[in-house]
Structure 1
Amino acid sequence: TEMLAPYLSGAEPTAKLDGAEKFLLEMCKVGGLRQRLTCWLTMLTFETRCHDLQAQLQAISAGVKCVRTSQSTPQLLALVLALGNVLNAGSARAGAKGFRLEVLLKLAETKATVTEGDDAGVSLLHHAAKCAVAKWPDVRKRFEAEMLPLSDVSNVKSALVVADIQVLAAELGAVEREYPQHEATRSGSDRFFEVMKPWSVTAKKLLTKLQAEVQTMKEELKALAAYLGDKILPDEPEQVMVRINAFNVSFCKACRDNERAEHLRKKQEKAEAERAARRPSGGAPGATPKGKVPVKAVRSTKDHYMNRIQGSLRRGEFDQMKALQAQMKTEIEGKIGARRASIAGRQK
């Protein structure tokens, strides 16, 4: 501006300036140029940014809806709860009515108790997947399809959406404060006021609608957390859906792992049967066939019942599982009582 000052005052002729310099000279003659350009930039980008934010809000709303209407989600959460109560039988944590969703992320890290027919080191998640498929054969495909909208929510942060809307509100406020100052100077060549006034009215309506959708989003996320029995995080309320989505991905992977393991087991059994058919008849009487592992005898009441309880859980027989739990408790309490009576008798 300092370099163009002589030309603006008329002290220097403008004929020797090139096209770009003449354009810059004319721009400097416009009053409130910086404020006008800021307003024009807001106007040019406002609608696109609003639509981008609306798409994110709609993705969150669709994610909430898919979890609330899912048939598989409550079934699987109930199964995980039942499995946890079986494993915690006899402890202070037995008989729980619910659990925090963060537990779902730890299932793959927890190793299940090894029982007859189980492979050593199998995770609790794979065990839960096996129980679920035994009870609901189509659960993997159904759960995967129901949770499909959650894939669009994984990268959406509600706090960032709210912050972006606040930025839009601040920019629109700056426009509303600026354009009235140019009402007195409007002319045929200066239409800033005439353009900005009606646009600001339309933009205000769009922003108000967006703010209402944000409030709806917050209420939906709060209701979803209550529906799932979890606590909502003030800064990241969408974490409820993120955890469900993570469980969906890991659960479906565990189901596919189990399918591959079962296919391999059947393939090995078939190969072993074919080898056995080719062997000469005979062999040591009472010998254990090759490839077969004798089942160990159950030596204690608790081990006996836990094997049967976990077998019922794998088969999805929850009523039988509860009956076995009650029997185990009664028998153990009876043995403890008898032992205490015996000790008391010897002390007399």
Structure 2
Amino acid sequence: MQFDSQASELRNSLGIQVRNSVKLKRIMQTILSLGNVLNQGTARGSAVGFRLDSLLKLTDTRARSNKMTLMHFLCKVLEQKLPELLDFPKELVTLEAATKVQMKCLVEETQAFSKGLEKVVQELSASENDGPVSETFCKIVREFLSFAEGEVKSLTLLQSYVVKNADALAHYFGEDPARCPFEQVMSTLLSFSRMFVKAHEENCKQLELEMKKAKEAEKGKLKK
């Protein structure tokens, strides 16, 4: 009775895709370049890459004034040099939904469908020996199975595809899926995206404040 709604819900979860963002890739290249410049002359000054969780540490590194973080500086550099990259979160519209997907749960749910289908087949087989009393029941179950068997097969294939691509996504970012599973990759990217947007907004507010002060100072000079 619940098959349709449960299958639809599972398919929606399995169907979530995180599109590779060209803008995110270019931002990561910029972060690597900034890191190498800042670490020039040290053992870390010629890195060819960085761990994904390093994205969340950009707000920890602060300037001497303690007001600007490396994330603020990144946004400032992009604003000046590559402003077209500032809206990269728009390329990751499914990111938040993807963070709610748990691979282990998806696998277990798909397996539960297969096992449930097996029980239905067994029940049908047993009921077929009951004669006329179960004739209507058997007819309805056969109709259900003609649809459900194909649906479960489709879901199983889709689940296998999603798990495979989830591991491939970790490899794409240079991570080991065993150490940095899909859920962690998605959570890290979502947090980075939000921190980036916040830092950019703070930069814009700071710029507006500075412009306002400059205008007030200019007015003061004119009055004198």
TM (norm. structure 2) is: 0.91
* Runs of at least 5 residues in structure 1 that lack an aligned partner in the other structure: 1-43, 280-348
Alignment RMSD (CA, Å) = 1.9
List 4+ stretches of structure 1 deviating above 3 A.
233-236
- Cα distance in 2 for partners of 1:189, 1:200 equals 16
Residue in 2 that maps onto 1:103: 54
Q: 1:131 aligns with which of 71, 77, 85?
A: 77
Cα pair 2:13 2:101 within 8 Å, conserved: yes
- Cα distance in 2 for partners of 1:248, 1:237 equals 17
Residue in 2 that maps onto 1:35: none
Cα–Cα, structure 1 residues 235 and 87, in superposed 2: closer, same or farther, change >3 Å?
Answer: closer
- Cα distance in 2 for partners of 1:108, 1:48 equals 43
- Cα distance in 2 for partners of 1:235, 1:247 equals 16
Q: 2:156 aligns with which of 182, 187, 211?
A: 211
Cα pair 2:127 2:134 within 8 Å, conserved: no
TM (norm. structure 1) is: 0.60
Name the structure, 1 or 2, with higher relative contact order (CA <8 Å, separation 6+).
Answer: 2
Q: 2:202 aligns with which of 233, 253, 257?
A: 257
- Cα distance in 2 for partners of 1:276, 1:137 equals 34
Identity %: 27
Counterpart code for 1:83: L
**How far 1:192 sits from its partner (Å)?**
2.0
**How far 1:54 sits from its partner (Å)?**
0.6
- Cα distance in 2 for partners of 1:51, 1:186 equals 34
**How far 1:71 sits from its partner (Å)?**
2.3
Residue in 2 that maps onto 1:57: 14
Kindly provide the CA deviation profile for residues 95-147 of structure 1, in whole angstroms up to 9, marking residues without a partner as x. 110111111112112213x4xxxx54311111111111111123223x12111
Cα–Cα, structure 1 residues 189 and 228, in superposed 2: closer, same or farther, change >3 Å?
Answer: closer
**How far 1:189 sits from its partner (Å)?**
6.2
1:162-181 correspondence to structure 2 within 5 Å: 162-181=107-126
Q: 1:75 aligns with which of 22, 26, 34?
A: 26
Cα pair 2:72 2:203 within 8 Å, conserved: yes
Residue in 2 that maps onto 1:304: none
**How far 1:190 sits from its partner (Å)?**
4.5
**How far 1:193 sits from its partner (Å)?**
2.1
**How far 1:168 sits from its partner (Å)?**
1.6
- Cα distance in 2 for partners of 1:175, 1:265 equals 71
**2:186 matched to 1:241?**
yes
Kindly provide the CA deviation profile for residues 281-334 of structure 1, in whole angstroms up to 9, marking residues without a partner as x. xxxxxxxxxxxxxxxxxxxxxxxxxxxxxxxxxxxxxxxxxxxxxxxxxxxxxx
Residue in 1 that maps onto 2:128: 183
Cα–Cα, structure 1 residues 176 and 189, in superposed 2: closer, same or farther, change >3 Å?
Answer: closer
Structure 1 SS opposite 2:94:
helix
Cα–Cα, structure 1 residues 188 and 88, in superposed 2: closer, same or farther, change >3 Å?
Answer: same
**How far 1:88 sits from its partner (Å)?**
1.7
**2:186 matched to 1:229?**
no
- Cα distance in 1 for partners of 2:31, 2:148 equals 49
Count how many residue pairs are aligned between Structure 1 and Structure 2. 224
1:1-348 correspondence to structure 2 within 5 Å: 44-59=1-16, 61=17, 63=18, 66=19, 68=20, 70-112=21-63, 114=64, 119-141=65-87, 143-187=88-132, 190-233=135-178, 236-279=181-224
Counterpart code for 1:93: R
Kindly provide the CA deviation profile for residues 35-79 of structure 1, in whole angstroms up to 9, marking residues without a partner as x. xxxxxxxxx1112111101101111x2x1xx2x2x2211111011
Cα–Cα, structure 1 residues 134 and 162, in superposed 2: closer, same or farther, change >3 Å?
Answer: same
* Runs of at least 5 residues in structure 2 that lack an aligned partner in the other structure: none
